A and B are shown apart, each in its own frame.
Chain A
Amino acid sequence: QKEVEQNSGPLSVPEGAIASLNCTYSDRGSQSFFWYRQYSGKSPELIMSIYSNGDKEDGRFTAQLNKASQYVSLLIRDSQPSDSATYLCAVTRYGGSQGNLIFGKGTKLSVKP
């Protein structure tokens, strides 16, 4: 079983819609969760971190964590063409050490004008 799974997409949404990106992880003891955005040909850029169950909002972005279901999601409200990118979910393994951050392969999001 893969440790961090994401639908590779592409996920296509119209401009102004809500984009919903999902991620599941296998290690029940995982403690820290991150969403990175990666534009084509660029490096990953952190957009959200979440450590406890529930929702965390930052501007148009909302991260949701459900540890019981081993599920983390990212909602992007009022999607813009500039949000078109690959979104990487990253999860720490049990123990939470910095080096135990595992990345999913990413979901490609396309926002159509």
Chain B
Amino acid sequence: DAGVIQSPRHEVTEMGQEVTLRCKPISGHDYLFWYRQTMMRGLELLIYFNNNVPIDDSGMPEDRFSAKMPNASFSTLKIQPSEPRDSAVYFCASSPREGLGSQPQHFGDGTRLSIL
């Protein structure tokens, strides 16, 4: 069974450039999450989708960040323009619909983003 697939694995770009991160969730999962991880702040939820619909984007740091999920098998996180403080590891995760309790989230390998 394929897990959550993210691309690219590494991205190095200059400040001001547009960055697009991609994610393919596990087939059949209803929820998709975008996280950012840094040493200082740990793992932070940026936005999540349920059945392709954005539910909560309160974690998106500012208008430079946007996320889309055009269908059940694909999502993008875009940063435009990028800044050095955006450097972090970005994870995508997915989970099935809730049962009696919240379902665990399955993480992709992450994109290590460096903005110079």
Enumerate chain A interface residues (CB-CB to B < 8 A): 31-32, 34, 42-46, 49, 51, 88, 92, 96-99, 101, 103-106
Q: How far is the CB of A5 from chain B (nearest CB, A)?
A: 11
A sample of 24 cross-chain residue pairs with beta-carbon separation below 8 angstroms, ordered by A number, consists of A32-B102, A34-B104, A42-B109, A43-B91, A43-B107, A43-B108, A43-B109, A44-B107, A46-B104, A46-B106, A88-B43, A96-B98, A97-B98, A97-B102, A98-B31, A98-B48, A98-B50, A99-B33, A99-B56, A101-B45, A101-B102, A103-B42, A104-B42, A105-B43
Asked if A46 and B105 make an inter-chain contact with CB atoms under 8 angstroms apart, the answer reads yes
B69-115 interface (Cβ within 8 A of A): 91, 95, 98, 100-110
| CA A104 to CA B33, docked complex, whole Å | 17
Q: Which residues in B have their C-beta under 8 angstroms from that of A42?
A: 109
Taking CB atoms, residues of chain A closer than 8 Å to B104 are 34, 46, 49
B55 at the interface (CB under 8 A from A): yes
Given A101-B105, A106-B42, A43 and B48 contact (CB-CB distance below 8 Å): no
Instruction: Count B interface residues, CB 8 Å.
Output: 23
Contacts of B42 on A, CB cut-off 8 Å? Answer: 103-106
- Beta-carbon contact of A43 and B110 below 8 Å: yes
Q: Chain B residue with minimal CB distance to A30?
A: B102
Contact, CB under 8 Å: B55 / A99:
yes
Interface centre among B43, B103, B106, B107 (most CB of A within 10 A): B43
Chain B positions 36-50 with a Cβ under 8 Å from a chain A Cβ: 42-43, 45, 48, 50
Chain A residues with CB below 8 A from B48, complex form: 98-99
Q: How far is the CA of A36 from the CA of B45 in the complex (A)?
A: 15
User: Apart from A32-B101, A99-B50, A104-B42, what are 9 other A-B pairs with CB-CB below 8 Å?
Assistant: A31-B101, A32-B102, A43-B109, A46-B106, A98-B50, A98-B95, A99-B48, A101-B105, A105-B43
